[in-house]
Amino acid sequence: MDSKRRVRTSRFLSLVLRHDPARAGITLDPQGWADIRALLDGCRSAGHRVTHAELVEIVRTNDKQRFALNADGTRVRARQGHFVPVDLALEPTAPPELLHHGTVGRFLPAITTEGLRSMSRHDVHLSADEATARRVGARRGAPVVLVVAAGRMHADGYAFRVTDNGVWLVPEVPPEYLGAPVSRA
């Protein structure tokens, strides 16, 4: 599969598995899993022909490891980033003392007042390393990285979860847990 087709197909799979399963005429189970046969049939009907081998290749090579197969390889789901309600069944996990969130300057006035909100996704996405947060912020402009006092939040009773590819999830970050923004390019 050439890289253009891989990107196009992986975007469509993200749309179906995180946002709009009906686009491929399928439903997700409560943990977000899609039956692969139904998914591939649905993709074909929606005009995106994807073979089983291509799906497996995308799961394996996706730059952000966005997708996962179940143990017997019959189902696939997105690892994070859902807009539709799913329960990823991740255990609450103690986070490192500090986590990072990448954003852009134009959102800072709102973030400073109301904290980080999950917006249209389930959770606020955080990363252990600053470089990842910077890349996430850079999708929207000159990146600004916020440091989150995750250890203190955890001690105060907030539940953190971590996906198996290292994205930290928390429903919200109130402003008192945010450090001063780092906007160094």
Which parts of this chain interact with ligand HQG (CB under 6 A)? 64, 66, 81, 103, 107, 110-111, 114, 116-117, 119-121, 125, 136, 140
Identify which of residues 3 and 120 has a Cβ nearer to ligand HQG in the complex. Answer: 120
Nearest approach, Cβ of 167 to ligand HQG (angstroms)?
6
Nearest approach, Cβ of 101 to ligand HQG (angstroms)?
6
Cβ atoms of residues 101 and 149 within 8 Å:
no
CB within 8 Å of 93: residues ≥ 6 apart: 160, 161, 162
Identify which of residues 37 and 114 has a Cβ nearer to ligand HQG in the complex. Answer: 114
Alpha-carbon gap, residue 2 to 16, rounded angstroms: 21
Identify which of residues 75 and 125 has a Cβ nearer to ligand HQG in the complex. Answer: 125
Q: Is 119 left (phi over 0), alpha (psi -120 to 50) or beta?
A: left
Alpha-carbon dihedral sign for residues 139, 145, 146, 149:
positive
Angle among Cα 82, 87, 91 to the nearest 5 degrees reads 115
- Single out the residue of 148, 151, 171 nearest to residue 161, CA to CA: 171
Nearest approach, Cβ of 165 to ligand HQG (angstroms)?
10
Nearest approach, Cβ of 72 to ligand HQG (angstroms)?
25
Nearest approach, Cβ of 81 to ligand HQG (angstroms)?
4
Cβ atoms of residues 115 and 175 within 8 Å:
yes
Identify which of residues 15 and 41 has a Cβ nearer to ligand HQG in the complex. Answer: 15
Identify which of residues 48 and 101 has a Cβ nearer to ligand HQG in the complex. Answer: 101
